[in-house]
Amino acid sequence: MTKTILITGGSRGIGRATALLCAAKGWNVAINYAQDEAAAAETLGGVEAAGARGFAMQGDVRDEAAMVALFDRTVATFGGIDGVVNNAGIVAPKSTVAEMDVERMRRVFDTNVLGAYIVAREAARRMGEGGSIVNVSSAAARLGSAFEYVDYAGSKGAVDTMTTGLAGELAAKGVRVNAVRPGLIATDIHASGGQPDRADRIGSKTPLGRAGTADEVARMIVWLLSDEASYVTAAFLDVSGGR
Ligand code: NAP
């Protein structure tokens, strides 16, 4: 069956890797991004090169109207939605809680919590039997991220709690809701938080001795989206090299 998958932050990093793996399965892919149009176009090119259908659409996950429009376009283009990857997220520069300004905390919580909840709400409204929502949380939700970004860790704790609650609400509709919790994955997110070497530096200290790749996370996301995971809901899948 040709599934239709909507991926927030689908233009780069873990979202892009997921888009390309979905396309390799022949699934339709709706790619959302915030500002980097060129990266989104490149990802869409990869989807189409794999022989799959897709589109890329700008829209900030914090913007309710933009997310409604993204879901509307996905349904209008492909006739429905089978999977949603609630992936868009940000970190802010390394800081203790004592030194954090409110503006930064607001940006992190608005993007990672409010944005994820808006996307989850739209998914809940539009998905039915056989649907799968995958929230991209973080190992930070377990670890707390002391001296780096406790705001980010807390935002992912909220995503975990939402996963449990929404799974309970949607089970009767036949929609599964799960989360992946990546550890240190080599993407640009670390540079955007002012620590370009972070994945390699800390990744080498994990039990598996290296950072993970976006592809290694994407494979778990695609598995949760697939019918192979038909009895998996309210689950947390750590993709963190044992960290
Ligand atoms: P990334 O490489 O920085 O990519 C982020 C993606 O999200 C981009 O497509 C970006 O679009 C989009 N995005 C950012 N803010 C957005 C917004 N407000 N609205 C819509 N889209 C937005 O990040 P990543 O490492 O792949 O991370 C993806 C998810 O995995 C995040 O939720 C992150 O917290 C989580 N995660 C990552 C790691 C890691 O080590 N990399 C570990 C644990 C969890 P633009 O390029 O257009 O801005």
Check pocket membership of 189 for ligand 1, CB cut-off 6 A. yes
202 Cβ contact partners less than 8 Å away, ≥ 6 residues apart: 184, 211
User: Backbone phi, then psi, for 108, in 5-degree steps?
Assistant: -65, -50
Kindly state the tokens that stand for 44.
């869409």
In the chain, pLDDT over 90 holds for what percent of residues?
100
83-102: average pLDDT: 98
Kindly list the domain boundaries of the chain, sorted by start residue: 4-239
Residue nearest to atom 32 of ligand 1 (CA): 89
Q: Which of 33, 206, 243 to mutate to test the pocket of ligand 1 (most atoms within 8 A of CB)?
A: 33
Check pocket membership of 57 for ligand 1, CB cut-off 6 A. no
Distance CA 100, CA 107 (A): 12
DSSP code, position 164: H
Check pocket membership of 35 for ligand 1, CB cut-off 6 A. yes
How far does the centroid of ligand 1 lie from the alpha carbon of residue 172, in Å? 31
The answer to whether 135 and 155 are in contact (CB under 8 A) is no
Q: Which of 139, 129, 232, 124 is nearest to 178 (CA)?
A: 232
Residue pLDDT, tens place only, 191-235? 999 999 999 999 999 999 999 999 999 999 999 999 999 999 999
Which pLDDT score, from 0 to 100, does residue 28 have?
99
Check pocket membership of 34 for ligand 1, CB cut-off 6 A. yes
In the chain, pLDDT over 70 holds for what percent of residues?
100
What is the overall mean pLDDT for the chain? 98
153-160: average pLDDT: 99
Residue pLDDT, tens place only, 7-47? 999 999 999 999 999 999 999 999 999 999 999 999 999 99
Which pLDDT score, from 0 to 100, does residue 1 have?
86
95-114: average pLDDT: 98
76-104: average pLDDT: 98
Distance CA 143, CA 29 (A): 32
CA torsion 183→236→113→195, rounded to 10°? 0
Fold classification of 4-239 (topology level): Rossmann fold (3.40.50)
Q: Residue 217 CA: which ligand 1 atom is closest?
A: 30
175-194: average pLDDT: 97
Q: Residue 37 CA: which ligand 1 atom is closest?
A: 47
Strands 83-86 and 4-7: parallel
Residue nearest to atom 18 of ligand 1 (CA): 60
pLDDT over 90 at 90, yes or no: yes
Phi/psi-derived region of residue 197, left when phi > 0, alpha when psi is between -120 and 50, beta in every other case: alpha
Catalytic, 152? Answer yes
How far does the centroid of ligand 1 lie from the alpha carbon of residue 48, in Å? 22
Distance CA 178, CA 132 (A): 8
Which pLDDT score, from 0 to 100, does residue 80 have?
98
pLDDT over 90 at 74, yes or no: yes
User: Backbone phi, then psi, for 121, in 5-degree steps?
Assistant: -65, -45
